[in-house]
Amino acid sequence: MLSRKIGNVDNGPFPYSCPMRWDELFTELEAEYNAALREEAEAELADMVHAEAATIRFADRVRGRVGQRLTVRLRNGETRQGYVKEANNVWSMLHEDHRRYLIPHRGVAYAWPLGGAAAGIDGIAARLTLGYALRALAGAAIEIRLVTEGGEHRGQIGKVGADFCDLHTPAALLTVPWAAILSVEA
């Protein structure tokens, strides 16, 4: 066995006994420490990205497409596409040539392409319900096509309640819960 001596001291099998080896040891330890700090910072960044993504809503991403083309697959399997004219937390308005589609977000199975999210909205815009849009259509007294989970009907929107609307069709007066509406089209 080799014995390492510095001065009159026998250091045995320890390689870091001379000053040059101590410098190498601490340089190596410092490099390992810095690498651990980088890994920790990268992990924290990944956690922050995931946490931020968890706050983004479907409506935020649709609002990020205002003025751009969007395709929406409704829960009944039908597809609507057009340029996003307006979007809030509850519904979106798509325009395609002369067609207008008012689409409650709860009636959407999926949509594409959706990119980044628009900034959140607040104030009155954040509180606009589907009823607001339906009342505007009722006031305009225009013929619409109402697509629901139970089928589609043509007529004019009459009374708009807290969670329903009446649709005057040639055959009957239908009362439709908002939850059943997939698309309102004009």
pLDDT of residue 30: 79
What is residue 88's DSSP assignment? -
What domain range is 173 assigned to? 58-185
At 1, the pLDDT band (50, 70, 90 cuts) reads: very low
CATH code, 170:
2.30.30.600
Residue 150 and residue 71 share a domain: yes
Domain count, the chain: 2
Residue 141 and residue 96 share a domain: yes
DSSP-based three-state secondary structure for 165: strand
Q: Is residue 110 part of a domain?
A: yes
At 110, the pLDDT band (50, 70, 90 cuts) reads: very high
Q: Kindly report, residue by residue over 10-33, the tens digit of the pLDDT.
A: 555 555 555 567 777 778 877 887
Average pLDDT, whole number, for the chain?
A: 86
Strands 5-6 and 164-168: unpaired
Is pTM beyond 0.75? Reply is no
Residue 88 and residue 33 share a domain: no
Residue 164 and residue 108 share a domain: yes
Q: Which of 128, 147, 130 is nearest to 186 (CA)?
A: 147
The sheet carrying 164-168 orders its strands as 108-112, 69-74, 79-87, 91-96, 99-104, 181-185, 144-148, 151-160, 164-168, 173-177
Residue 175 and residue 132 share a domain: yes
> Which residue did the predictor score with more confidence, 123 or 61?
61
- Which of 53, 69, 101 is the last residue before a domain boundary? 53
